[in-house]
Chain A
Amino acid sequence: MQILARQINVLDYALSSLWRRRMKNLSVLLVFTAVIFLVASFQMTTGALTRTAERVLENAPQITLQRMSAGRQVDIPPEYAARLSSIYGISRIVPRVWGYYFDEVTGANLTVMGLATDRMPMGDQLHLALASGSFPGPGSRGSVVLGRAVNDMVQARGSHLLSLFRNDLSMASFEISGVFADATDILTRDLVVMNIDDARDLFRIRGDRATDLCVYVTNPNEINTIARKIADLLPDTRVVTRPQILKTYRVVFGWRSGFGSICLLTALTAFIILAWDKASGLSQEEKREIAILKVLGWQTADILAVRFWESLLVSGISFLVGVTLAFIHVAFFDAALFRPIMVGWSVIFPPFHLVPEMTAQVVLLIFCLSVLPYLAATVIPAWHTASVPADSALSGA
């Protein structure tokens, strides 16, 4: 009981002492909040990118096959699929047509993907990735599902049809049957998904050919083994597995977030040094206060507890406000402040909408990198002062 009453008194004193030095504490609070805001925003942004990519790729085929000739990609004839049937463990082979389409009017680059949805496993679940509408049915030609940016482009023209030109400049028009969800923005923004036969028609690819083959396996653990067998059997093909793609994404995002984190950690370190100097470098007045409290019968532990509560309040409030602001920044403003840093990204992905990820891990990491060092930086100097004999209050004039 007495210990509790003592802690309440100490907390009480810490609060009034914070209030007495409110200008100083407020400035520390502002700087601290800003730093935590930056670090948390960055972590959430990169977390959101990685997670989105991973989630979207979950639906990607386990193995993708492309035929190469003279170092360039060429069409795959149907015999290739037939030759794979000798490999045990393949559950399904689905042809796919995809390519880039340059829109001369807007200067936009679209990714066109022709799918045989009826032949894909879980093809019936693809609509989960859509914000509205549905995928074109098996036989239904002439309709497309669009990424958000492409849809915006079509809407801006005041049209309900997507019109594309074939190589011979004849026009192909498509009805819009669905739009991809925001959460998949990072991969679907510039995407046009259509019936595989429509895509063959658009790119002038022969009726039975494809640009790649999607291979689905029975046992996901065997992806690598089967990929190797395919590469042996068809030496002129390039075999890409889903784990490889995932790894590439992780490397790209990981590198960027790692680089960014180092910059921000530098800022954080600078702040801590500043805090060490300002918040904790005890002024003459604070040293005098500590000496007086000691002579009056305060234990070193009581004096440290005052410092501890003060610092915990300042850094805790900064932490909560900083992390909350970061969440708002990423969720509602798409990390607008980071646009300049993310210039490199826009090459891979044009501006996209972010769904922030706030994992306990990230929050804990930021906590450990901000609140803990600040506590140390403020409590340790007080400990140095408080643990020497209290005679300075006596001898000092």
Chain B
Amino acid sequence: MLIELESVTKIYNQGRPNEVRALDAIDLRIGAETMVCLRGASGSGKSTLLSIIGCIFPPTSGRAAIAGRKLSRLPDRFLTLHRRRTIGFIFQRFNLLPELTVLDNITLPLLPLGVGPADRRARARELMERFGIIHRENFRAAQVSGGELQRVAIARALINDPPIILADEPTAHLDSRLSHVFMDLMAELRAAGKTIVITSHDPLVTEHPAIERIIDIRDGRIHAA
């Protein structure tokens, strides 16, 4: 199994008055080369679960193993190391740096790996060609359209060639046409061998034919497999 969670619990602000139990005893196994949707209402714990799968923080209790590595008790430094080898993130509002060019945004994950500029550019150009944004290479992110930004974000998630792609409510700010385009791209990546986890309550996502499995979350618990 690529992703294995066993009675994973996440408590924010533990021991303080504003303590929140965001995830409660989650058991979840996701195999390689699948496309999964985490569905749930606002505040149900989707983002928190995605953060644990994405090695952003370890669970408060329980066991989590991502791509063969146990997360619990792993110091931040090693979480980061593991994250950049294993995970590609796509965020709701893309989280690009508006003042950087499209090229520089896409290559951001390569800088701490010590990849040189020529190599970075070559790898980014390949992805930009593939997603049809090569003509925007030297535009600042603030200057390109929403649909293009989305593809820049996908290119950035893929630049390290990670086995797992995580997308947190990727269509929340897209119109239905762009949402379709996005899901079709994800389906392509899935066909190319990636494992994809998308959180959403958007029917355009949950009812997309490429989705192989829907996991319902309510109040930090999984309801139907």
Contact between chains at B56 and A394 (CB < 8 Å): yes
Contact residue among B76, B92, B111 (Cβ-Cβ distance under 8 Å from A389): B76
Contact between chains at A9 and B112 (CB < 8 Å): yes
Given A297-B160, A394-B51, the answer on whether A5 and B95 have CB atoms closer than 8 Å is no
In the complex, B135 has a CB within 8 A of chain A: no
Report how far A16 CA is from B117 CA in the complex, Å: 14
In the complex, A329 has a CB within 8 A of chain B: no
Contact between chains at A296 and B156 (CB < 8 Å): yes
Contact residue among A9, A292, A387 (Cβ-Cβ distance under 8 Å from B95): A292
A298 closest partner in B (C-beta): B112
Contact residue among B91, B104, B108 (Cβ-Cβ distance under 8 Å from A293): B108
In the complex, A12 has a CB within 8 A of chain B: yes
Given A387-B76, A394-B47, A397-B92, the answer on whether A297 and B114 have CB atoms closer than 8 Å is no
Report how far A289 CA is from B97 CA in the complex, Å: 7
Given A389-B56, A389-B76, the answer on whether A2 and B95 have CB atoms closer than 8 Å is no
Q: Contacts A8-B114, A9-B115, A297-B160 given; 10 further ones with Cβ under 8 A? A: A2-B113, A294-B80, A296-B108, A297-B109, A297-B113, A299-B112, A302-B111, A302-B112, A390-B56, A394-B51
Q: What are the interface flags for B90-126 relative to A under an 8 Å C-beta threshold, 1 for contact and 0 otherwise?
A: 0111010101100010001111111111000000000
Contact between chains at A5 and B114 (CB < 8 Å): yes
B114 closest partner in A (C-beta): A5
Q: What are the interface flags for A5-21 relative to B under an 8 Å C-beta threshold, 1 for contact and 0 otherwise?
A: 11011101100100010
8 Å CB contacts to A: which residues of B57-114?
57, 76-77, 80-81, 83-84, 89, 91-93, 95, 97, 99-100, 104, 108-114
Report how far A46 CA is from B185 CA in the complex, Å: 71
What class of interface size applies to chain B in its complex with A?
20 to 34
In the complex, A177 has a CB within 8 A of chain B: no
A211 CB, nearest partner CB in chain B, Å: 77
Pull 5 A–B residue pairs with CB atoms less than 8 Å apart, ordered by A: A6-B112, A9-B112, A297-B81, A297-B112, A394-B168
Report how far A395 CA is from B117 CA in the complex, Å: 31
Given A295-B56, A394-B91, the answer on whether A300 and B76 have CB atoms closer than 8 Å is yes
Given A13-B111, A394-B168, the answer on whether A20 and B84 have CB atoms closer than 8 Å is no
In the complex, A222 has a CB within 8 A of chain B: no
Contact between chains at A389 and B114 (CB < 8 Å): no
Report how far A295 CA is from B50 CA in the complex, Å: 12
A292 closest partner in B (C-beta): B95
B99 CB, nearest partner CB in chain A, Å: 5
Report how far A193 CA is from B218 CA in the complex, Å: 101
Closest 7 CB pairs of A and B: A297-B84, A5-B114, A6-B114, A9-B111, A389-B57, A2-B114, A296-B109
A303 closest partner in B (C-beta): B112
A334 CB, nearest partner CB in chain B, Å: 46
Contact residue among A1, A20, A296, A300 (Cβ-Cβ distance under 8 Å from B89): A296
B60 CB, nearest partner CB in chain A, Å: 12
Q: In the complex, what residues of B have CB within 8 A of residue A358's CB? A: none
Q: In the complex, what residues of A have CB within 8 A of residue B80's CB? A: 294, 297-300
In the complex, A341 has a CB within 8 A of chain B: no
B88 CB, nearest partner CB in chain A, Å: 9
A3 CB, nearest partner CB in chain B, Å: 7
B202 CB, nearest partner CB in chain A, Å: 16
In the complex, A391 has a CB within 8 A of chain B: yes
Q: What are the interface flags for B39-57 relative to A under an 8 Å C-beta threshold, 1 for contact and 0 otherwise?
A: 0000000010011001011
